[in-house]
Structure 1
Amino acid sequence: MRQTTMAKPAEVERTWYVIDGEGQTLGRLATTAAHVLRGKNKPTFTPHVDCGDYVIIINADKVEMTGNKLNTEKYYNHSGYYGGLRVRSAKEMKEKYPVEWVRRAVQGMLPHTKLGDVQRRHVFVYAGNEHPHTAQQPVELKVKG
């Protein structure tokens, strides 16, 4: 009889991946990154253990959105004070805050738990083509679509 193998945190082997965001759609890029961050691309995936890999996203300023979403999509922040609501459009986020824009999309697809908090620390987003993680020898990951 076969038994289901559960990954233990000490046995997890982590790989570094780099995703080039140039010409990619935001949603496709974010789902691919979240899939790898959770570890669902591995046969040893265990839902309650952080068995995911590290993801570096470069060229965040060249990520696209389809349709009219750049004008209609809104991002909300609230400071906690009265009148502290800040509303920004996707177009403004892409132009002024491309790193936060991509990071929000990826982090929104991760679980909103303590495990998700750990997995959120494994994504690194950069607006340009350069990143400081060359010592980790990241492998290029292609996004489908």
Structure 2
Amino acid sequence: MSKTTIEKNETFKPSWYTVDADNQIVGRLASKLAMVLMGKHKPVYTPHVDTGDYVIVLNAHLVRFSGRELAHNEHPYLTEKMMKKEYDSYSGFPGGRKVQTGLQVWQRHPEKILHEAVRRMLPKNKLGVKMLKKLKLVCGNEHGYQAQQPVELPGHLLPK
């Protein structure tokens, strides 16, 4: 007779991983990161417990969208799809809707593109907010999390 084990918050010890996002497609990378943040890659996955790991994403500003590439001075992987992609925000007041293109968001906050993609793939509850805090986005090759001794994310958890 096999027994089902349920992971508890008190006993779970998360791991730390690093990922290089250079030239990765946003949606494919975000879906893999969401799986790791939720903990679905582990056999002890429990839906109501945060069994996910911490993920440090390096070069978060160099992600790309699929589509035909365009020439740009600052962004090496600019595509048509990034120019057409729209990000909405709403202030709560009448007429308070603001729409920005992917390029405009990238110019102001380059890591926000990947952050929003991952956020939308996580559960829409308090547990999802807790999972999203485990995502650390860095624009560059160096990060300040050496004390946690992060390891490279295994290849089977990365997009192909």
| Superposition TM-score, scaled by structure 2 size | 0.86
How many Å apart are 1:114 and its aligned residue? 1.1
> Hey, what does 1:27 align to over in structure 2?
27
Compute the displacement of 1:83 (Å).
Answer: 2.2
Structure 1 unpaired stretches of 5+: none
Q: How does 1:64-79 map to 2 (within 5 A)?
A: 64-67=64-67, 68-79=80-91
**Structure 2: where are the runs of 5+ without partners?**
68-79
Provide Cα deviations, 1:26-77, integer angstroms capped at 9, x if missing partner.
0111111111100011110001100110011110111110013212211000
Q: Secondary structure at the match of 2:57?
A: strand
Following the alignment from structure 1 to structure 2, what is the Cα–Cα distance between the partners of residues 57 and 9? 25
Query: SS of the residue aligned with 2:123?
Result: coil
- Answer 1 or 2: higher relative contact order, Cα 8 Å, separation at least 6: 1
Equivalent residue letter for 1:118: K
Runs of 4 or more above 6 Å deviation:
none
The answer to whether the 8 Å contact 1:61/1:95 transfers is no
Greater displacement, 91-100 / 27-36: 91-100
1:144 matched to 2:153? The reply is: no
* Equivalence map 1:1-145=2 (5 Å): 1-67=1-67, 68-141=80-153, 142=155, 143-145=158-160
Identity in percent: 41
Equivalenced residues, count: 145
Q: Which residue in 1 is equivalent to 2:73? A: none
